[in-house]
Structure 1
Amino acid sequence: GISSTITSGMAAGSIFAGIFGESYHIKDSHSQLGVLLSLGIALLLIFFIGDPFKGLIISQMVLSIQLPFTVFLQVGLTSSRKVMGEYVNSRWSTFVLYTIAIIVSVLNIMLLFS
């Protein structure tokens, strides 16, 4: 839990700093704000969810909603010649990756509604 919390905070700091065109640095105010927002929301959730098992279920549901956005974005970026240059995915790899992404997304939607 501690490892993923730290990673989450650093990712939020990197994203928030990137919005302002800066690189992540913990002494930068935008990076600090991103870390504090991420960890602050997590702390609030800990205080308001009394049952840890229920909290785990809720967090996994949120992750399953977020996963398709991340997967499709990653496949799109690695399939872009503009972004990846000579290391771009082949058409076959792109097809396979999008197929897997669609399958995972459909399974997540089915799980969410079950």
Structure 2
Amino acid sequence: MPTLRLLTNVEIAPESRPELLARASRQVADLLGKPESYVMVILESGRDLLFAGTSDPSAYLELKSLGLPESRTPEFSRALCGLLAETLAIPPERVYIEFSSPPRHLFGWNNATF
């Protein structure tokens, strides 16, 4: 159930969105060591977002996963910031990332919970 939500003020051309989604999905699966078939990526571009008093390119990410290893969040942060720098030219200092590991009984899927 790894889920990555990527919210940014950068406008992403429709033709570029599928590749960014695919890269993010692969990266999340690789980072967490989980099958990509369980990964969901939500992309919200062109959003109103002000960070540090400016509307320069920035992003807010949420990475949720059952059993998310807290000790590895610095590694995850570097990798996700690197992806945004490379694909959207968003500097790492303009990215916030919220990591969370919900309890299994509070995350639903397929008519049940995990």
TM-score, structure 2 as length reference: 0.30
Q: Which has the higher strand share?
A: 2
Higher helix share: 1
Question: Which is bigger in relative contact order (C-alpha 8 A, separation at least 6)?
Answer: 2
TM-score using structure 1 length: 0.30
